[in-house]
Amino acid sequence: MSFHHCHRDPMPQQGLTPERLQARRQLCAACAVCCVFMAGEVVGGYLAHSLAIMTDAAHLLADVGSMMGSLFSLWLSTRPATRTMTFGWHRSETLGALASVVSLWMVTGILLYLAFIRLLHSDYHIEGGAMLLTASIAVCANLLMAFVLHQAGPPHSHGSRGAEYTPLEEGPREPLPLGNTSVRAAFVHVLGDLLQSLGVLAASILIYFKPQYKAADPISTFLFSIFALGSTAPTLRDVLRVLMEGTPRSVGFEPVRDTLLSVPGVRATHELHLWALTLTYHVASAHLAIDAAADPEAVLAEASSRLYSQFGISSCTLQVEQYRPEMAQCLRCREPPKA
């Protein structure tokens, strides 16, 4: 049989993967656009005396901070593994996405408080013309940033850190529309800002033609800030799943177990663990109990190949051991219960 080595790729990939290079370009472009239009909104909001415009600028400030943090985490993730950080720095991408969500929550909380104060006190004046012009520009800016950050999915890659895979038995292999975690979090930010900008634009049109309805300014801030909080739920759910070492959503426990049991010579499997360093970097480990006549090297090669090809596992560690009847009664060898 051909020699089987433990690594899927002969040489580790240096620097950023194509997916992360694309993410860095998207984040840099969006960050530049965001800075320019944020400065314009601060000036326009001040001249218009509009809290809604200033809140939109504050959301853009949160976006700039989160995107800069994401760019830093992308750079940090290229650092090689060390004896302390044995998996490298891949999870910094996930931490960057979490910081992005938390920053949006903090800014939104402040804005909700200010909007509530304005609803209680009506001693303020809104410049409808300046507000309308600034809100129109803000909508265009958010549309431009959404276009820059939009991604249908990661490009095709042959490396171990490339696109995700769908199990072969479930249908043809198609990339899952997950994309880079940091870009996805930034895109959610921009979508929330776009919807808020549309609300601010509607409020500015109303105030421009009907100045007596100036309460539309804090009301729009209140409503769309709540919506922005809700828009972070999917990203937060995925980030917490990664940080809690949960099984990746695109990889099922039972399909992986059945695939390992289908390898010739494998009698049983236990200590099966599935987790992820990022949404696209999946890791697996397991013990394979084999027949006495089975070739351990052949079993290891076939099992590793199936995990790589059918589930897109980026790194797997398999321990091959001889099957013993008492394994069926071992409490530690039993499968974990369903959640």
The 10s digit of each residue's pLDDT in 298-329 is: 999 999 999 999 998 988 999 999 998 888 78
Q: What pLDDT, on a 0 to 100 scale, did the predictor assign at position 152?
A: 46
When the pLDDT of each residue in the chain is averaged and rounded to a whole number, the result is: 79
Q: What pLDDT, on a 0 to 100 scale, did the predictor assign at position 178?
A: 35
Buried b (16+ CB within 10 A) or exposed e, 282-319: bbbebbbbbeeebeeebbbbbbbebbbebbbbbbbebe
Structure token pair of residue 27: 């984040």
Torsion angles phi and psi, residue 311, rounded to 5: -125, 0
Residue ranges of the chain assigned to CATH 3.30.70.1350: 253-329
Q: What pLDDT, on a 0 to 100 scale, did the predictor assign at position 33?
A: 86
Residue ranges of the chain assigned to CATH 1.20.1510.10: 18-154+180-244
pLDDT digit string (tens) for the chain, length 339 residues? 444 455 555 555 556 667 777 778 888 888 888 888 888 888 888 888 887 788 778 777 777 877 887 787 777 767 888 889 888 887 887 887 788 788 778 877 887 888 888 888 877 778 888 889 988 988 988 888 888 887 544 443 333 333 333 333 333 333 333 346 677 777 877 887 787 788 888 889 998 998 888 888 888 878 877 777 777 788 888 889 999 999 998 899 999 999 999 999 999 999 999 999 887 789 999 999 999 899 999 999 999 999 999 998 988 999 999 998 888 788 877 888 886
Based on its alpha-carbon atoms, the radius of gyration of the chain, rounded to whole angstroms, reads: 26
Q: What pLDDT, on a 0 to 100 scale, did the predictor assign at position 5?
A: 53
Correct CATH for 253-329 of 3.40.50.10480, 3.30.70.1350, 3.20.20.70, 3.30.70.600: 3.30.70.1350
Topology at the third CATH level for domain 18-154+180-244: Alpha-lytic protease prodomain-like (1.20.1510)
Of the candidates 283, 275, 289, the one whose C-alpha atom is nearest the C-alpha of residue 308 is 283
The edge-to-edge listing of strands for the beta sheet with 282-290 is 266-276, 282-290, 315-322
Q: What pLDDT, on a 0 to 100 scale, did the predictor assign at position 170?
A: 34
Which residues, in sequence order, are bridge partners of residue 276?
Answer: 282
Largest CA distance in the chain: 87
